[in-house]
Structure 1
Amino acid sequence: MTLRLAGTALLLLAAATASAADKVEKSKILMMGNQAGWSETTYSDDGTVRNHYEYNDRGRGPKLDSVYKVGADGIPTSVEIRGNDYMKGKVDETYARSGDEATWKNSAESEKRTVAGPTFYLSLDGPPEEYTLLMRALLKAPNQTLKLLPDGEARIEKLATIKAKGKAGTKNATLYALHGLSLTPSYAWLDDKQRFFAGYSSWSSTVREGYEDALPAIGKRQEAEEQRLAQARAKSLTTKLDKPLAIVNARVFDPVAATVVDGATVVVDKGRILAVGKNAAVPAGAETLDAQNQFLMPGLWDMHVHFSSEADGVLDIASGVTSVRDLANNPEKLAARIKAIEDGTDIGPRIVKAGIIDGPGPFAGPTKALAATEAEAQKIVDEYAATGYEQIKIYSSIKPELMPAIARMAHAKGLRVSGHVPAFMTARQFVENGADEIQHINMLMLNFLFDKVQDTRSPARFVAIGEYGASIDLSSREVRDFVDLLKRKDIVIDPTVCTFEDMFLGRPGLPGPGYDAIIDRLPVTWQRGVRSGAGGLPIKPGQEALYRKGYQKMIDFVGLLYRSGVRIVPGTDGMAGVTLPRELELYVAAGIAPKDVLRLATYESAKVVKRDDRLGRVEPGYVADLILIDGDPTLNIGDVRKVRTVIRGDRRYDSAALYKAVQIKPWP
């Protein structure tokens, strides 16, 4: 969660310094075209920059007041940031440099360090304004490169200039790429005076007030640059399989039979599996890949993603995730990404589309698909059905009385129905009124806390689990009856347990264990974010143990569901690819055997979306989505991280090369 929010902050680059004649600049923060917040920056002749920054994202979101003292080289000599972070935790951060001595303190760090030469301090909890200050400093720096505190190095690159038109007039806007802070370049637009103009993404954008109409042109040009980089990656990292490939000396796993066959050969051609077995016939002229006794299994599924970051596709394939289900996105942008992946001009998994629908209001999700009436809902469902969507995801602000109608509309179009349980509705009511699936294990637990919290549109849906979840008796008649209902109606559960781990266990300076296995492989700026524990909920003193027990109860509930015969599909709702192994580890912690977890992450996921006749097994006639692992995840589920080679139909990838392309160290 912390990493995903850090990436969002980089995309929401806002307000920059101005001349003495222009003391104040205001920007709007838009999510899917709707205003979610604002930023205002005040500039003083003495180099002081003051910024107010806030936005609301379904009850979450930062509210920060920051003061920067900026030197002639554009580098801040002191920083003060106060307010609250995205999860409403307290922010009180300071930095100062005098000569070669730099000191800083925040919720997770208190350090003093001797530094030499120009060095830019990146705050832990600061506003996006800080990244604009960094860009201005980089433009002044030799080779447009600067060292960062606490670690790392940043570089800026000028890419393109366009005429941006808005109600406030016309300005030159220049696109810059900021390197060194994320997996792929971060982009921002500055005007001729190197002041902030816009930060764009398909989910959320920040733009100078009066220039909202310029965002389409800005987005088009920026996406062209992103596509250029994606095409270059795809060309250099994809090996097209133009003739049969025989993978020999492999340990082949069948997730349905839960068996492993040693010394087997798998032959693929034209994206399909031709033969499997110890005596499989190899066509003349076939290329041979010696697996050297590595573990060969079907590609993994992540059944809960929001495919948006430019690194997502590369991370998924590098991690062995060859299929995903997208559960809410910008429809136009998602369609373009799917086309590019299937055309081979981008790298990524197969994507199943599920469309979100929410109700209007202050806690509405970041989507334009908002419905307050049956007529509005019908129009949205029809549009999704007509554009290749297979599922409707109902979100938290839908009125309870509208939910049954949406289910009927979706089912009439042949679409599955899933989602968050709408506010003021229980999970039992959600199921009884037509849902086929529920996202997030906390939504099931809230069924037994309806006397504690009913409005689940806000972070109350998390806090209630921390404060009361441990008290839920999983052996009670109420729980057993509910689980029996889920089994009887064949309801699928998408638990996303890993997405709650840092939220419930992370504390300032004490991160949750979710990233332990991969933290050293991440860019240094991301390592700092993880180690800070900044993604945790604000917990009242003395409640830490209670929250840990509440989180453990979620894991225990997953185990109960599985043992009771309720269908489970693994999804992450987090950082692409690299977080799925942690979700699978948590299922093992819930008491599910590793072989069964692998079945859930392959064949059973394919079955839920009606692709089990062609995906999820290593069998003749199946699509050749295969991964080679240097280990045995049937014994140690964590070995799914050790993917070495990925076959995605008629394309072959080296996992290590993919990771390197997005600044992540390969698995040793």
Structure 2
Amino acid sequence: MSHPLRRLLSAIAALASIVGGTPALAHDDDVRIHGVAVGTQKLQALPGGAMQADYGFSERGRGDQIRARWTLDAHGLPASYDAEGNDYWKVPLAEHFGVAAGNAHWKNRIEDGSAAWSAPGAFYLPANAPPEFMGVLARALLKAPGQRLKLLPAGEAWLERGTHLSAGGHTLTLYRIGGIEFTPVPVWLDEKGATAAVIDDWFEVLGDRLKPSLAKLQALQDAAGQAWSADVAKRLTHKPAGALMIRHARLFDPRDLTVRDDMRVLVRGEHVVRVDPDDASAAPADAEVIDAAGRFLMPGLWDVHQHFAGVDGTFDLIAGVTSARDMANDNEPLLARVRRFDAGTELGPRVILAGIVEGTGPLAGPTPVRIENLKQAQDAVDWYASHGYEQIKIYSSFPPALVAPIADMAHARGLRVSGHVPAFMLAHQFIEAGADEVQHLNFIVLNFFPDVKDTRSKDRYTITADKLQQLKLDSPEFADFMTLLRQHHTVLDPTLSVFQDLYSGAPGRCAHSLCAMIDRFPPITRRRLLSGAVAVPPGKEDVYAQALPSLQRLLKTLHDGGVTLMAGTDAFAGYTLHNELELYVQAGIPAPEVLRIATLVPARVLGVAGPGQRGFIAPGRQADMVLIDGDPSKNIGDIRHVWRTIKAGQVYDPKALEQAMGMSQ
């Protein structure tokens, strides 16, 4: 489902919508994901000084299609803005902004607002817009006093000037816009101030003249971003000078689901050296002491379904996630990011790597690792195995006939195999062909409906809502399927939070996992996170309302039937894992067992629960722990109240990390 991609595309569409300046010459840009062309942005000047952008892309049957028109005042601020089209999930949208009689008014599917307006005014941030709008904001900031601007509906943006580069016959300058996202947002302008490129971890918008320089642009942009991340990591990572002792904690052990009162844990370096009752004796002379004061101490959490981008690693630590699995990414940049996590120059958890393999065709996923024959399959497996990957993830367009051969190749190199069930294949066939694990619970549902053959587009989500009403959990066929799962020791990565948001039926509402804190997010982030649902087909309201409860009944049945579950999100990092665990408890799985699903189970499944590793707190284990206000073994909602996160013996304060991300307190 590639949430970071969905998130990034929404972010760039929103961020891009903020930028416009003096009219630039008409030009065409390619929209690319991991270097694969997926769409275009065409910019043209209209009579009267207006600009128009036609922006669209398509990947796996999804993607924005937006026509936007705007005018600017003498300060480069939007005087009008109108857009229509659809968002990433193909939900129709329309947006209007205008200024009249000293009043600014805006209306979109999220807001219907107004504010007094007097020169020089403020910069309106559209909720949806083309990438060109990133340049609009940068140019307006260049004109503004101190390169700062008030924003509508809220907030303030500022501009940082970065490095220069000669490319495509032009001199380009990197600018970074602060105040609208968790980190400064990059945009490249040429010597005339025209937008040259908008680039992010997954997404590139630039013209033909700059394609040969893309790698240089990315490298310079990444260097600036990494310097920012390194500074945050240096300031907010606390490494005890000697030992670390945690005293007076309530210690949770996922091995037997017990909670022991008034315990102490001694850490030296990256490992636990002693766990025993706190007898009030003196701590070692060199020990820094954390008085837990009765707080709940548990092993660090796992999120087994992420796609790392931006500051996902920071939000993991905020939420107590000290171990994670990346389930498909841009391979070389991911490897570099994980090295920074491990070195402490970027905040993030320990990461298990899963390498994606995909087939070809118009609905193929955004990866260059596309397989059509056995030679390509072997080359991909060998590359991943030699670069430290521990798993192969098969994606939706992968040829079914190659599943068994690539599973054999992966297993021969000691790699696990998982993924989406490829189109024209059922889950039981995928498992029998060698898959060790299945991502996303909808593929388990579709196993019982062989009439649904092509699952490459977003229909694999919408069809699931219908089919859930027909699934018989008490049928012999379902019992036989659970027997198959147990016999093959198949693991499931359900990602219930994704389905909860897809089936909410309200494309303009916040993700359920974020509603409690979304008002604390920076403006653009807040806006783009209010768009994560598919549109409910007319007459299907009741079907969609019952989809999540039906998936929860399915999850509980699988758990009770002895099928191994691991908690993953494929959504906003950190906070969504808390929501995922809450959904499991709501489904009827006892809270202590859910905590084990998010700690010890993934450590065992993914092979890092042995001596000197992790999954529980004991002498010799890695010092990855979370201190929580409350008791999530009794009230799973307390999992949201992370007081301290400890990774490899280093201590992080979640509130300080949130503040560094631009969140209000």
TM-score range, shorter chain: over 0.9
Correspondence list, 1:229-308, <5 A: 229-279=228-278, 282-308=283-309
Give the whole-Å Cα distance in 2 for the aligned partners of 1:231 and 1:23.
38
Q: Does 2:117 correspond to 1:115?
A: yes
Conserved 8 A contact 2:357-2:395: yes
Q: What is the alpha-carbon distance in structure 2 between the residues aligned to residue 515 and residue 38 of structure 1?
A: 32
Q: Show the counterpart of 1:418.
A: 418
SS of 1:354's equivalent in the other structure is: strand
> Aligned in 2, Cα 1:322/1:206: closer, same or farther, shift over 3 Å?
same
Deviates more, 1:59-68 or 1:330-339: 330-339
Letter in 2 for 1:356: I
The corresponding residue for 2:142 is 139
- Percent pairwise identity: 40
Letter of the 1:267 partner, please give it.
Answer: L
1:35 to 34, 37, 57: 37
Kindly provide the CA deviation profile for residues 212-255 of structure 1, in whole angstroms up to 9, marking residues without a partner as x.
Answer: 11111101111110111111111111112331111111111101
Q: Give how far 1:109 is off.
A: 2.9
**Is the partner of 1:51 in helix, strand or coil?**
strand
509-518 or 350-359, which deviates more: 509-518
Greater CA deviation, 197-206 or 348-357?
197-206
Determine the structure 1 residue equivalent to 2:65.
63
Q: Following TM superposition, by how much is the alpha carbon of 1:665 offset from its aligned partner in structure 2, in angstroms?
A: 4.2
Residues 292 and 547 of structure 1: is their aligned pair in 2 closer, same or farther, counting only changes over 3 Å?
same
Contact 1:77–1:97, Cα closer than 8 Å, also in 2: yes
In structure 2, distance between residues paired with 1:14 and 1:125: 8
In structure 1, C-alpha distance between the alignment counterparts of 2:88 and 2:382, rounded to whole Å: 35
Alpha-carbon deviation of 1:175?
0.5
**For the residues of structure 2 that align with 1:173 and 1:9, how far apart are their CA atoms?**
25
- The residue type paired with residue 660 of structure 1 is Q
Deviation for aligned residue 1:46 = 2.7
Q: Measure, in 2, the Cα distance between the counterparts of 1:72 and 1:384.
A: 54
Question: Which residue of the partner structure matches residue 463 of structure 2?
Answer: 464
Q: Tell me, yes or no, if structure 1 residue 90 matches structure 2 residue 117.
A: no
Measure, in 2, the Cα distance between the counterparts of 1:179 and 1:96.
25
Describe the shift of the 1:527–1:198 C-alpha distance in structure 2 as closer, same or farther (beyond 3 A).
closer
What's the offset of the Cα at 1:369? 0.8
1:161 aligns with 2:164: yes
Does residue 581 (structure 1) correspond to residue 582 (structure 2)? The answer is no
Alignment correspondent of 1:372: 372
Aligned to 1:408: 408
Specify the SS of the correspondent of 1:151.
coil
Q: 2:574 & 2:513 partners in 1: Cα distance?
A: 13
Alpha carbons 1:42, 1:51 under 8 Å: kept: yes
**Are residue 542 (structure 1) and residue 543 (structure 2) matched?**
no
Counterpart residue number, 1:130: 133
Query: Is the contact between residue 507 and residue 535 of structure 2 (CA under 8 Å) also seen in structure 1?
Result: no
- Equivalent residue of 1:239, what SS? coil
Kindly provide the amino acid, as one letter, of the partner of residue 487 in structure 2.
R
Using the size of structure 2 for normalisation, the TM-score is 0.95
For 2:140 and 2:7, the matched residues in 1 are separated by 21
Distance 1:37 1:438, change over 3 A: same
CA contact (8 A) 2:8 2:203 kept: no
Distance between the aligned counterparts of 2:542 and 2:89, measured in 1? 19
The more displaced of 628-637 and 237-246 is 237-246
What amino acid sits opposite 1:591 in the alignment?
G
| Contact 2:4 2:309 survives alignment (8 Å) | no
1:45 Cα shift? 5.9
Taking structure 1 as reference, are residues 275 and 114 closer, same or farther at Cα in structure 2, changes over 3 Å only?
same
| Equivalent-residue separation in structure 2 for 1:344 and 1:70 (angstroms) | 44
**Which stretch shifts more, 82-91 or 96-105?**
96-105
Offset, 1:605: 0.9
Q: Is the CA contact (8 Å cut-off) linking 2:181 and 2:523 kept in structure 1?
A: no
Letter in 2 for 1:92: A
Cα distance, 1:63 vs. partner? 0.8
Structure 1's unaligned 5+ residue stretches are none
Aligned to 2:499: 500
CA–CA separation in structure 1 for the residues paired with 2:191 and 2:139: 12
Taking the aligned partners of 2:542 and 2:662, their CA distance within structure 1 comes to 36
Moved more, 521-530 or 237-246: 521-530
Please tell me whether the aligned partners of residues 14 and 207 of structure 1 are also in contact (alpha carbons under 8 angstroms): no
Change over 3 Å in CA distance of 1:509–1:655 after alignment to 2: closer
Q: SS of 1:591's equivalent? A: coil
Deviation string for 1:17-75 (max 9, x for gaps)? 6988x741111111111111110100246320000001112111011111112222212
CA contact (8 A) 1:397 1:457 kept: yes
1:149 aligned partner: 152
Aligned-pair distance for 1:368?
1.2
Following superposition, the deviation at residue 602 of structure 1 comes to: 0.4
